[in-house]
Amino acid sequence: MWAGCRRCRSADLVPGLRDGQFDLVAAGMTITPERCGLVAFSRPDFVAPPAFLLPEGNPRGIGTFQGVARSGVVLAVLDGSAELAYARAAGIGDDRLLVVDTQSGLFRAVVDGRAQAGALTAISLRDELRRNPGTGVEITRPFEPTLGGRTVVPAAGFAMRTGDDDLRAAFDAELAALQESGEWARITEPFGLGADNLPDPDLTTGTLCSPG
């Protein structure tokens, strides 16, 4: 059996998977009802709440997507990301969204002042800040966003094509074993994940895929 990997833009992950360009998406993709209608997800791999990247001191006091909507600032978001959906659901118009292709591009947009805020998972933002110290920006506390009037658990998983049931069952069995044995924590710790990012055992993909 041959296995390889391919890098691509966030917005191209679901289309590429559905077109057969690859068989698995291992990009920490947030499990949402909309995406569940297009692809099949593994059991939840980790929970990754979003946060905001802001100028130091958070001069506008931003802490939620609704706060961004009220503030009138330009928000940088990753193309195809869950944060883009959260922003639009909060009433942030496309004229105030700066959509970028990479997380480093999002970081740089805020640092350079092309956007006054950026939204991405706290894990990703901390990684960018660690690699770019002294840039005059800070990260807010992570939070659970709302979508359609309900609080969302921002859990991520591996995506597969709908109908690849044998692959998903085998994958879920191995992922469950990693999480239950403690090996998951050992593997993910160098990447900034901790015990708070391990999904609750009662959290299921079916629940995350449910529209409400």
One pLDDT digit (tens) per residue for the chain, 212 residues: 456 788 888 889 999 999 999 999 999 999 999 999 999 999 999 999 999 999 999 999 999 999 999 999 999 999 999 999 999 999 999 999 999 999 999 999 999 999 999 999 999 999 999 999 999 999 999 999 988 888 999 999 999 999 999 999 999 999 999 999 999 999 999 988 999 999 999 999 999 999 86
Q: Where in the chain is the domain with CATH 3.40.190.10?
A: 15-47+154-192, 50-151
Are 46 and 155 spatial neighbours (Cβ–Cβ below 8 Å)? yes
The CATH architecture to which 50-151 belongs is 3-Layer(aba) Sandwich (3.40)
Are 195 and 36 spatial neighbours (Cβ–Cβ below 8 Å)? no
Choosing among 3.30.428.10, 2.120.10.30, 3.40.190.10, 3.40.50.460, the CATH entry for 15-47+154-192 is: 3.40.190.10
- pLDDT score, position 148: 80
Beta bridge partners of 157: 29
C-alpha–C-alpha distance, residues 137 and 129, integer Å: 8
Distance, CA of 121 to chain centre: 5
**Residue 29 token pair:** 């993709």
Would you call 128 exposed, middle or buried from its count of C-beta atoms within 10 A (0-12, 13-18, 19+)? buried
Distance, CA of 159 to chain centre: 13
Distance, CA of 85 to chain centre: 11
- pLDDT score, position 7: 86
b/e per residue, 7-27, with b = 16+ CB within 10 A? eeebeebbeebeeeebebbee
C-alpha–C-alpha distance, residues 93 and 99, integer Å: 12
Reduced to 3 states (helix: H, G, I; strand: E, B; else coil), residue 56 is coil
- pLDDT score, position 81: 93
Helices H / strands E in the chain, number of each: 9, 11
- pLDDT score, position 9: 86
